[in-house]
Structure 1
Amino acid sequence: MSAVRLGRLLKYTVIGGATIGTLASLHGNQYQLNSIGIVRLSRAAVTVFQIGVIYKRDLYGKGLEKSSDEYKSLKSVCHKRSAEKLLQLCCTNKGVYIKVGQHIAALDYLLPSEYVQTMKILHCHAPTNPIEDVYKVIREDLKKEPSQIFKTIELEPLGTASLAQVHKATLHDGSVVAVKVQHPYVQGNAKIDMKTMEYLVKIMSWVFPEFKFQWLVDETKKNIPQELDFEQEGHNAEKIAKMFQHVEWLHVPKVRWDLTTSRVLTMDFIFGGQVNDLNYIKEHDINPFEISDKLGKLYSQMIFINGFVHSDPHPGNIFVRKSERGDCDIILLDHGLYAVSILNNTVSQSITLCSKNLSDEFRVEYANFWLSILNRDRKAMRQHSANLGIKGDLYGLFACMVTGRTWDTILKGIDKQKPTKSEKDLFQREFPNILPQISGVLDKVNRQMLLILKTNDLMRGIEHTLQTSARMGAFRVMSQCCVKSVYSQRICQESSKIRKFTVTVAQYWALFKIKLYYTILSLRQLSVQILGT
């Protein structure tokens, strides 16, 4: 075949492929021209180019010394301007872009604070679709007019997320429900957006080979199909409710299956205030330390014991209220994303396993890693870090990422050293200097660890807002759950009754030592406070 004929063939192939792709994109997005793949790709490419110009022209082109105060001040300004550009792209393209923006908002250890703080608005204030779009999805999925199903439905949503928005409604029998309705064009955009994201990440990796962001693409590709299936979310809600049915202060809204499809989720409405609403907490006389303690117990149990972890605990998904008992109730919402077992590296296969828990091997290794941090045992840290995929001297950096504390604090004992503003400032100031190493850790670590890291970051954010980061109870509960996780596996591995009994006694002895240790530590701190006053 001649070069000319080959060139023509390639040309027509590209044109034909683009035409077919455009038509497929139009069909998938219900013929919304503004949402076709080439338009969304162009927006993303333009934004990336604009961000590049901001840094090249307004920062690197100034010829300033990187150690100078002027350079640092100008860098902060460029970070802020670039973050606002990125936020605008997320709000315009919506869907998966907002989901990625929310993920960025949780990466305190990886990105400058300007990006994290700017993108945090997406947790509770994502763009809202008009009510007619909501009605359209309800008609298509429930095969009835909204007025036939609901006596009333509030026009303003209770909340808007990346993939859906929630409206309060009343059924004709008087029941009050929360109706979660998927944004109408999310399904059609998702695959296109993931391809776009993958291309952009490959370009970034080519330009900056020291940064490894393929893990972010892989995780998003794995998680988005789960979050787009509201029936799966309903099953997750029922599963976690059953796991904690003995916990009277935890409430998970009941699913109304007769009014639930893959794009519409109807659940009983439970009133409360957002976990970060300090005015609501104060007005209702709720103890912030009680909130933190209960969340700590809940998530330690999920991670180290059950292995089924609600992995999107941003403030819009956790509500609190004063109970009739006089204490605090926790209301857990949005069950679309759970950290679960991944038995292989293929995306399609891992999605089908979404109802399984974290593997026993992973839970025990992670529990042992936490115990080694609490015990300040560097040899054990290195060993269990390697078992989780991080080998060599990077175990220290991994420990910092897991705990959200500096290495010096870890060596002194994180359960003895209260987090301070200077430590947080040092953490955010130094981490940007080792971004290649951090991205390398995220690229190599056990895939089950990624959502756990995100969950840890979001929980620390809640504690920071509630000003409860210094509570010792968190470490006590975590230590107890880690011990139970490790010893439970040992008991299961023993074949003789005598050995099972011996290991059980060892477990109770370890739990007793933890209780005794934190009791003594608490008494010491109390005595220091008394003497200080």
Structure 2
Amino acid sequence: MKWNVKGNGIFNTRSFYREIRGTTLVFSLGKVFGLLRFLRGWSFFLWTGIGCMCHNNGESVDHLLIHCDIASPLWGVALQMFGIQWVCRGMLFLCYLAGETGLVDDVEFFKEMGINPIKVAKALMEVFAEMIFIHGFIHGDPHPGNILVSPEGRNGFCLVLLDHGIYRQLDEGFRIDYCELWKALILLDENKIQQLGERFGVGKYFKYLPLIFTGRTIDSKSTLLGGMSIEEKRNLKQELKSLKMEDISSFMESLPPEFSRILRTDGLLRSIISRLGASQRVRLLAYAKYALYGLSPKLKPQSGLEAIWIIA
């Protein structure tokens, strides 16, 4: 057999790479099978694993086997020749096909199905609060496209959670500290908040934790659900004027990774329940309730919620 691409008829990977390289990178089966006839043993694996470095995505295994326009088709053909169906470790695809569903913020869909959007908001917050405070897991990307609502279920609907690509387990020590933080936020225990702030690495910025999570200042006289008084808002506005961009940057950089993920998740959930017409009272009550459950293993919350978890 002769490799017609080269004048001497001898195959090498460089000539093959130049042959298939182009604007569209379309592979013909003839070329692929022709390549496989020439390659023997480890030469194929070396070529697809090393010779075709396109310098994207760190040349990870997932990239070379799935996403690379050059290596992936070759691997696919080679494995299919042996009847192998495969996925990479950490990849699992399921389909949810149980009837009609709507996005979690689709209020019009809820009206059509007779679903109360406020109840959806409460269920959403309780599911995520239980997940974080009790089980120590966090779904890091709960945007509306990843949360569906089905009109089926014991309570007239159920939540369908998708895409756990950045799903993380919290360190047990962090989970307990986070529960303690919410207990301190509820009681506005300044000493405890400062102690936990130091543990989280935020230092002098601990006094802003109540503001970030509950909308109250550290020295607020209002209740958890009462909001800030006019005087407190005026004092806060004056204090924030003294903050510089370096302060904000320093605060964000000092946060442990788990804290950053929680802030992102919490921000997305706040946005969703606002679009559902629910007040932040729903969120605060759910967090307060499950934070206390998280500190008391003997207590078992009976939420009666129904959720389906789909990994994608």
TM over 0.5: yes
Which of 313, 320, 325 is the equivalent residue of 2:149?
320
Deviations 1:395-451 (A, max 9, x none): 122332334x25289652332339xxxx8xx99xx6996443222112112221111
Q: Does 1:283 align with 2:112?
A: yes
CA contact (8 A) 1:389 1:446 kept: yes
SS in 1 for 2:251: helix
Aligned to 1:468: 278
Alignment-mate amino acid for residue 276 of structure 1: D
Q: Does 1:376 align with 2:243?
A: no
| Cα drift, residue 289 of structure 1 | 1.4
Which of 282, 286, 290 is the equivalent residue of 1:477?
286
Which of 266, 286, 304 is the equivalent residue of 2:133?
304
CA contact (8 A) 1:373 1:410 kept: no
Which of 190, 202, 210 is the equivalent residue of 2:57?
190
Q: What pairs up with 1:86-235 in 2 under 5 angstroms?
A: 189-191=56-58
Structure with the larger RCO, 1 or 2 (CA within 8 Å, 6+ apart): 2
Alignment-mate amino acid for residue 371 of structure 1: K
Alignment-mate amino acid for residue 276 of structure 2: L
CA contact (8 A) 1:311 1:338 kept: yes
| Cα drift, residue 327 of structure 1 | 1.6
Which of 295, 298, 303 is the equivalent residue of 1:486?
295
Q: Find the aligned partners of 2:185 and 2:22 in 1 and give their Cα distance.
A: 52
Percent identity for Structure 1 against Structure 2 = 24
Q: Does 1:334 align with 2:163?
A: yes
Which of 445, 458, 462 is the equivalent residue of 2:255?
445
Deviations 1:502-529 (A, max 9, x none): xx6xx79xx9xxxxxxxxxxxxxxxxxx
SS in 2 for 1:267: coil
Which of 213, 221, 226 is the equivalent residue of 1:416?
226
Alignment-mate amino acid for residue 400 of structure 1: L
Q: Find the aligned partners of 2:272 and 2:118 in 1 and give their Cα distance.
A: 11
SS in 1 for 2:279: coil
Q: Does 1:400 align with 2:207?
A: no
| Cα drift, residue 315 of structure 1 | 0.7
Would you say how many aligned residue pairs link Structure 1 and Structure 2?
Answer: 230
| Cα drift, residue 188 of structure 1 | 5.7
Distance 1:438 1:410, change over 3 A: farther
CA contact (8 A) 1:463 1:469 kept: yes
What is the root-mean-square deviation of aligned Cα atoms in Å?
4.2
CA contact (8 A) 2:210 2:218 kept: no
Q: Find the aligned partners of 1:31 and 1:375 in 2 and give their Cα distance.
A: 65
Aligned to 2:38: none
SS in 2 for 1:415: coil
SS in 2 for 1:412: coil
CA contact (8 A) 1:385 1:391 kept: yes
Q: Find the aligned partners of 2:130 and 2:263 in 1 and give their Cα distance.
A: 16
Q: Find the aligned partners of 1:448 and 1:284 in 2 and give their Cα distance.
A: 37
Alignment-mate amino acid for residue 478 of structure 1: Y
Q: Find the aligned partners of 1:460 and 1:402 in 2 and give their Cα distance.
A: 11
Q: Find the aligned partners of 1:228 and 1:334 in 2 and give their Cα distance.
A: 19
Which blocks of at least 5 consecutive residues in structure 1 are unaligned? 1-26, 35-131, 141-186, 193-224, 232-257, 340-356, 489-503, 512-533
Distance 1:31 1:272, change over 3 A: farther
- Structure of larger gyration radius: 2
CA contact (8 A) 2:149 2:160 kept: yes
Q: Find the aligned partners of 1:322 and 1:369 in 2 and give their Cα distance.
A: 36
Aligned to 2:101: 272
Q: Does 1:359 align with 2:171?
A: yes
Q: Find the aligned partners of 2:150 and 2:158 in 1 and give their Cα distance.
A: 5
Deviations 1:188-209 (A, max 9, x none): 64349xxxxxxxxxxxxxxxxx
| Cα drift, residue 477 of structure 1 | 3.2
Q: Find the aligned partners of 1:442 and 1:415 in 2 and give their Cα distance.
A: 26
Alignment-mate amino acid for residue 331 of structure 1: V
| Cα drift, residue 32 of structure 1 | 7.3
Deviations 1:347-366 (A, max 9, x none): xxxxxxxxxx3112101111
Deviations 1:57-91 (A, max 9, x none): xxxxxxxxxxxxxxxxxxxxxxxxxxxxxxxxxxx
Deviations 1:160-210 (A, max 9, x none): xxxxxxxxxxxxxxxxxxxxxxxxxxx964349xxxxxxxxxxxxxxxxxx
